[in-house]
Structure 1
Amino acid sequence: MISNLLVLQSDFGISDGAVSAMYGVANSVNPHIRIFDLTHDIPPFNIWEASFRLLQTVSYWPEGTVFVSVVDPGVGSERRSIVVKTSDGKFIITPDNGTLTHIAELSGIVEARIIDENVNRLPNSGESYTFHGRDIYAYTGARLASGVISFGEVGPSVEVDTVVKLPVTSAYIKDSSLTGIIEILDIRFGNLWTNINRQLLKKLDIQYGDMLEVTIEKGTQQVYKNTMIFGRSFAASGIGEPIVYVNSLDNLGIAINQGSFASIYKVGTGNNWTLTIKKAAKKIYSRRRVSCKEVSYRQKQS
C-alpha cells in the first residue's frame, strides 16, 4: 500500500540543518510526498525515549505510513539498519539498537528486513558514515512511502526475534501492592507515565476516589513516598497537590496539579525507576467520651 506519508523522529533538534536535509532528500525522491515530524527533541542518544515515542504515536497513523527514527549513538559501527512492518501495517526504519523495544513488546512486529545499503542509499553519499539519517533512512523511507520500492526490495529478510530490544520490567501485583516502572515523562508538564495499565488497577479493586500510597524508588533508593487521591481528572486534587490518574495511553500517571512532579522530586525514567502503589490504610477518627462530671467541671472553670 502506497501511503505517501513519511513521519520523522530524531534527537537532532532543529537548531541546525540536519532535519531540513532529511526533508530535502525525501522531496528529491518524490516532491509530492507528505512529511511530518513526530519529534526531534529526543534527548541526545536516548534510545529508550525514542522507543516509547514511537509506541505513543504509530498506532494513530494510517496503514502504510512510513516512520523514520534516528537516535543513533552507534552510527558508523556494525549495528544494523533495519525496516520492520508492524502488526497493523506500518513501517519503521531505524538503527537496530533497541528503538523498536516498545513496538515489538506491545504492538507487534510481523516482518523485518535489513536495508541493502548498496541499493537504498542516497547517490554519491558512499563516503559519508556519520549521517545515515539523511543518506540511508530518509532516502529509503521516502522511496518506500512513495512506492518507488516495495518492502521486499528494502533488503534481505531477517527473523523478527533477532531485532534488538532493551530490557523492560513488566508491571506486576504482589500481595496487595502493584509495581511498575516509570517509562517516560509527559515532558512539558512533568507528569510521570508508568507501564501500569488500568486493568491491573481493577484487579486490586482500586476505584476513583480511593486514597493510594505511592512509593518511588531508583534502584534500591527510595526517592518519594506519599498518599494521594486516585482521580478521574486533575480537578480531583487541589492546585499543588499530587494525584494518581489514568493517562492517554490507558496507563497510570502521577502528577501535581499545575506543577511538575518530575522537576520537584528529581524523578527520572527507565527500567531502574520503579513505582509501587497500594490502597492507603483508612484513618479512623474517634472522639473520647466525656463524663458528666468532666462537663460540669469545665462549665465551672469557664
Structure 2
Amino acid sequence: MTSVISLLTDYGLEDGYIAACHGVIVGISPESRIIDVCHLVPLGDVRRGAAILAQTITYLPPGVHVAAVDPSGSRRAVAVEAGDHVFLGPDNGLLSWAIHASGGARAAYELSNEEFFLPPLSTTFHGRDLFAPVAAYLAIGRHLDEMGEEIPINRLISLPAPTSTVQDDYAEGEVLSVNRHGNVQLSIGAADLMTLRVSLGDTLVVWMGGRRLAVPFKESFTAVPPGEIVAFIDSVGLVALAINSGDASQRLGLPPGARVRLSPAP
C-alpha cells in the first residue's frame, strides 16, 4: 500500500485536533506523506465535504483517504476500495461521490477490529482514535480484511447524485456547494452551456424559483467590478455564480440543493 494519506474533516484549525491525527499517523507509519485536503468543511455539512473530496480526488496520488464529517456521530465506520484508493469514513454518504469519481467501489469493510484502534476509543473523536490509526496501518502494509468484516457494496449509504438537464433553450440544475467566499457552484457544466451556444461575453438569465436575474458570463469573477454578479466556469468545469468581493449565496438566497435554471438572454 502507498504511504500517502489524505485528511478531510470539519474539525477546524483553532484547536489541536488535526495535529493529534497527524501524530497518531506518524507514530505508526513514520514514512507516510500526509495531505491535508480541507479541515474547514462547515460543521456537519456532509454534502459540502463530499463535493470537496470528489472534486479533489482526481489530483491526489493513490493512497488512503480519511474523511470525517458526521453530524450524528453514530454511523458505522467503513473502508471502501475504489480505483487506486481506499476511503475511510462514516457510512453517511460522505465518501460516495469520491468513490464514484474513482470508478466505483470494488469492496467495502466495516472497521470493527479494535486491535487497530487507538485505545481507549473516544466516542467523539473517531478521526484520531479510529480512522487515523487504521489509515496508518494500511499504509504500512496491513490488509483491509484485517480491519473488519466485508460488507455488501450496495448497502453503503450514498448521497443523491447531482443532476442537470438541458432542453432546447435552458439548462437546469442544483446548487452543488457553496465555498467560503460565497461562490455558488452549480451542477450545470461547461458542456451544457456549449449545447445552449452560450459563449464568453454573453448574458445569461438565471432563474431562481420565481425570480430572474440577468448575469454576464465571463472568464472569472474578477472580470466584473467589485459588487457585481458574474457567471463563470470554475476550476472543475462547472458553472459558478459569484460576486466580486461579495457573497453570492447570501445575496441570491441560494443554499446547497436549491434549483437553478440558466438560459441565454434573448
Q: Which runs of 5+ in 2 are unaligned?
A: none
Q: How does 1:202-281 map to 2 (within 5 A)?
A: 202-217=194-209, 222=210, 224-234=211-221, 236-269=223-256, 271=257, 273-281=258-266
In 2, the alpha carbon distance for the partners of 1:119 and 1:175 equals 58
Q: TM (normalized to structure 1)?
A: 0.81
1:185 is aligned to 2:161: no
Q: Deviation string for 1:191-224 (max 9, x for gaps)?
A: 111111112222222222221100224xxxx4x5
The answer for the alignment partner of 1:85 in structure 2 is 81
> Where do 5+ consecutive residues of structure 1 fail to align?
282-302
Equivalent position of 2:64 in the other structure: 66
Q: CA deviation at 1:233?
A: 3.2
Is the 8 Å Cα contact of residues 109 and 160 (structure 1) preserved in structure 2? no
Report the Cα distance in structure 1 between the residues aligned to 2:87 and 2:24, rounded to whole angstroms: 18
SS of aligned partner of 2:31: coil
Question: CA offset at residue 253 of structure 1?
Answer: 0.8
Provide the secondary structure at the position in 1 that maps to 2:80.
strand
The structural deviation recorded for 1:242 is: 1.8
1:140 is aligned to 134
> What's 1:48 paired with?
47
Partner of 1:295: none
CA RMSD of aligned residues (A): 2.0
Q: Find out whether 1:95 has 2:82 as its counterpart.
A: no
User: Following TM superposition, by how much is the alpha carbon of 1:43 offset from its aligned partner in structure 2, in angstroms?
Assistant: 1.3
- Aligned partners of 1:56, 1:231: CA distance in 2, in Å? 22
Sequence identity percentage: 29
Secondary structure of 2:115 counterpart: coil
Contact between 1:117 and 1:136, CA under 8 Å: does it hold in 2? no
How many Å separate the matches in 2 of 1:241 and 1:43?
26
Does the residue aligned with 2:114 lie in a helix, a strand or coil? coil
Change (3 A) 1:197 1:106: farther
Stretches of 4+ moved more than 4 A in 1? none
Preserved contact between residue 105 and residue 153 of structure 2 (Cα < 8 Å) = yes
CA contact (8 A) 1:84 1:109 kept: no
Using structure 2 for the length normalisation, give the TM-score.
0.91
Contact 2:29 2:139 in 1 (8 A): no
Residues in 1 aligned to 2:45 and 2:241: alpha-carbon distance in whole angstroms: 22
Contact 1:68 1:93 in 2 (8 A): yes
